[in-house]
Structure 1
Amino acid sequence: MTALQSLSLANTFIPTTDPDVSLAFYRDVLGFTVKEDVTNGDFRWVTLTTPTQPELELTLDMVGTGAMPMTAADRVALTELLAKGLLAALIFDCDDVDAVFEAVRSSGAEVLQEPADQFYGVRDCAFRDPHGTMVRFKTDLVRE
């Protein structure tokens, strides 16, 4: 095995301007577990894991806290892009996309797409998290 063959995704970032609002979605609606929640000044580091992939950490990335050097104008532009859902997307596998859709919709999350069979072999649906990130859920279709 080469060094590159041992790579695996360890962490991904979910942009947010309010980690408490994001926690209400990812922890309380989707059932993720908080692994770390630490604060250093204005910076807050919150990592979550899914029950089926505890080794993969999803980090709530505090946009505009000063953790990443940027101008005030950049901070405004970044926040606007976030609100439009243009900074990130997440796609989760699930056993029953229709059941997941109903559970997430009942939370009041913004629906982007109701469950639909796609030509590329999945049935999926899509929502926006409280800060604009598109969150999709998919179930692979059985091909004959």
Structure 2
Amino acid sequence: MNITIHYAFLPHTDAEAALGFYHDMLGFEVRKDVGYEDMRWITVGPVGQPATSIVLHPPGVDPGITAEERDTILTLIAKGVYGAVTLASDDLDGLFERLEAAGADIVQEPTDQDYGVRDCAFRDPAGNLIRVNQVG
């Protein structure tokens, strides 16, 4: 049996800013861009890896969520403690330099961690934490 990660979901609070970050800064391809009323679900992923995607979705749109709960979700997103994903790169320093030059919200410069990985961290426009590990 082979199990893979097909989709990961992260909220976005501004679809155009999310596209600017994931497509323009990270270089991900846009696989789907679906709108409904004033909301958008955008599926992005690394070029050449069609089986792995991130779905950027409007936060708190489940019909079972109250207005108060939605406000709590938006508060947590703004604090940067709601969503996170860890990516991997074979050129961590080069990616970091590119993101820094493009104005990404840097949380941590490339660092050799005590637990054995070299990584950096930044936030996407919604505040989601994006960590990147050096691989290879």
Q: So what's the TM-score if we normalise by structure 1?
A: 0.87
| 1:131 and 2:126 are equivalent in the alignment | yes
Instruction: Structure 2: state its 5+ residue gaps.
Output: none
Tell me the amino acid that sits aligned with residue 90 of structure 1. Answer: V
Which aligned pairs between 1:36-115 and structure 2 lie closer than 5 A? Answer: 36-64=32-60, 66-115=61-110
Structure 2 CA distance, aligned partners of 1:69 and 1:16? 19
Cα 1:23–1:113 change in 2 (3 A) is same
Q: Secondary structure at the match of 1:54?
A: coil
Provide Cα deviations, 1:73-111, integer angstroms capped at 9, x if missing partner. Answer: 111110010011111111111112111111111111111
The answer to whether the 8 Å contact 2:14/2:125 transfers is no
Q: Which has the larger radius of gyration?
A: 1
Cα 1:97–1:14 change in 2 (3 A) is same
Cα 1:68–1:6 change in 2 (3 A) is farther
Cα 1:68–1:30 change in 2 (3 A) is farther
Tell me how many residue pairs correspond in the alignment. Answer: 136
Q: Secondary structure at the match of 2:22?
A: helix
The answer to whether the 8 Å contact 1:27/1:34 transfers is yes
Cα 1:107–1:30 change in 2 (3 A) is same
Structure 2 CA distance, aligned partners of 1:105 and 1:42? 31
The answer to whether the 8 Å contact 2:120/2:133 transfers is yes
| 1:32 and 2:21 are equivalent in the alignment | no
The answer to whether the 8 Å contact 1:100/1:137 transfers is no
Structure 2 CA distance, aligned partners of 1:10 and 1:71? 29
Structure 1 CA distance, aligned partners of 2:90 and 2:74? 34
Q: Secondary structure at the match of 2:51?
A: strand
% identity of equivalent residues: 40
Q: Which residue of 1 aligns with 2:14?
A: 18
Q: So what's the TM-score if we normalise by structure 2?
A: 0.92
